[in-house]
Amino acid sequence: MEITGRITKDALARKVGNKKQVVNFSIAINDSYKPKGSTEYKQITTFIDCSYWLNAKLAEWLKKGTLVQLFGRVGLSTYIGHDGSAMGSLTFHINSLKILAFAKKEDTSASAVSAPKKQNSSDDPDDLPF
């Protein structure tokens, strides 16, 4: 199965057991459709939790906003909730991952421009030695 979407927040690598590590993240898939009898398109966003077991070092590249193409399978986990009701969740188990577009870097120059400059006394025209 193949899915493509944007990462919703930075990926986290965590240890499982003594030797294994897993990279967990979530992606958002945007889609649209036109209901029957309507002239307007409806937007829908689907969020999918993902796990990648093959290379934990990849987590440093999987930042919020990165566009990824994932290949793998869907896994189902079931459990009993706090209120005693049956619950379930889907996780996409990744076999192969392609980064299609990296996230935009934060603009650090904006913070540097807004910071006030410290003026040296030698730059002051009223403080001339003659």
Per-residue pLDDT at 130? 47
Per-residue pLDDT at 2? 96
Tell me, yes or no, whether 25 lies in a domain. yes
For the chain, helix, strand, coil in percent to 5 are 10, 50, 40
pTM higher than 0.85, yes or no?
A: no
Tell me, yes or no, whether 129 lies in a domain. no
Per-residue pLDDT at 17? 87
Q: In a structure prediction context, what are the per-residue pLDDT tens digits for the chain, which is 130 residues long?
A: 999 999 999 999 999 988 899 999 999 999 999 999 889 999 999 999 999 999 999 999 999 999 999 999 999 989 999 999 999 888 999 999 999 999 887 654 444 444 444 445 455 555 555 4
Per-residue pLDDT at 115? 46
Tell me, yes or no, whether 67 lies in a domain. yes
How do 86-101 and 42-52 pair as beta strands? parallel
Distance between CA atoms of residues 21 and 56, nearest Å:
6
Per-residue pLDDT at 88? 87
Tell me, yes or no, whether 120 lies in a domain. no
**43 contacts: CB under 8 Å, gap ≥ 6:** 30, 31, 32
Q: What angle do CA 39, 43, 46 make, to 5 degrees?
A: 150
Per-residue pLDDT at 103? 86
Query: Which CATH number covers residue 53?
Result: 2.40.50.140
Tell me, yes or no, whether 109 lies in a domain. no
Tell me, yes or no, whether 83 lies in a domain. yes
Number of domains in the chain: 1
Tell me, yes or no, whether 125 lies in a domain. no
The whole domain housing 72 covers 2-104
Tell me, yes or no, whether 9 lies in a domain. yes
